Structure 1
Amino acid sequence: MKIALLGYGKMGKTIEKLALEKGHSIVFKSTSESSEGDFEDAEVAIEFSSPEAAVKNISKALEAEIPIVSGTTGWLGEYSEMVNLCEKRNGSFIYASNFSIGVNLFFSINEYAAKLMAPWKEYNVSVEEIHHLEKKDAPSGTAITIAEGILKHTDKKDWKLNTFAENILNITAKREEDVKGTHIVSYDSDIDTISFKHEAHSREGFALGAILAADWIQNRKGIFTMKDVLGIK
């Protein structure tokens, strides 16, 4: 697989390392300041850049008819535009707030738990996320996906950051030194607390999932999610 890396920060470098170990090749890589290689040689693009650069990078791949896998968060106000462009170009596009296989299983567990807890109104649900100091967006895209899964099965109207109100799902975001990513869902009552957590130990889980998604999408057309890649119903 010939891969273009759009974004060459910590995640891009981890993807490069693991992709090369698996026998793939990196034919192009770019940052906001420079690029190296020939983008047109790529069979698939993997995009981990910044909220400011994501739309430009995704558009570049779709216009060039190169399948793209994007894991950048914080730009989803323009997601529908990228969906429209993908459809217009008959392209191939996967966006995921998190490519970790474990996190995507966690998403499904979270939705099942939310459905199970829905009748028990004495429990108040909340989400907490903890990331490294360099992470720019808050809450994380993963926390938002978790919140959206919960909102399908509760009476709460919306999620908000650091807002404690009866009809709001509160998300708490913390930034600490060298945290790869931790997400906790808690159901609290006066009697007890039920909670479950996903804690990433390294960036390799995210990178491996992105490579898996890139391999999966190569010969497919359309807009997909990690549920499609992993066969999660």
Structure 2
Amino acid sequence: MAVGFIWFDLGYTLLYNEREKLFNQLITDRGYRRSEGQIELAFHVVDKRFMREYPGLLGTPAKKFMPRYFAQLCEYLEIDGDLTSFLNQWLKAWEENRLEWLAYPFVPGLLKELRSRDFRLGVISNWDPGARDILVRRGILEFFETTIISSEVGAVKPNREIFEIALEKASVKAEDCLYVGDNYYDDAVGASSVGMGYRIINRFGTFGVEELDSSILIRDVTELLPYLEKERR
């Protein structure tokens, strides 16, 4: 059966922040020179490692996971020295800058195109109560007929409960749905537990997620359109 309803994750699926720029500023002040590409790749590798080895940890307050995360980030980028003071500086900068979540430039246009092709759209996300305000500020909340936020419903991915809540609220069957996210261990595992199909975003091909079947991977949400049109034929 062709997909009629597409559910999206938020962070690093539709939204991103400029953490790499902030990190680059700090290491530059400490005398390190790393390219933007190197830093993006380092965050990507550590993100995927945490998703795989420490499920759910990235969704907790930064102070809980950041020491371990930061150490692995610095190791990948070959940054040494007094990492304790550097970590404290990073945590302070993270708190003071309160990095804004932005929509990827291609997201509003894609969502508009999907709606014009009669796809129903929704969100299922592990996020704090500020999620809806972010979607309003980015001008994309209007595209979603159903928005399910973990902090509002008391259930989190990958638990099937949050997906069941979404299906019930949208009055849609799982087999008519596709879930799109960037975390296989939250998104694919959770979606498949209720019978949804899924696609996982990985900007660097298979890099960092070599354990996964490459057929489920897309580089960003713009790659959905060819797949969806093929399914509708």
Structure with the greater relative contact order (CA < 8 A, sep ≥ 6): 1 or 2?
2
TM-score for both structures, normalised by structure 1? 0.32
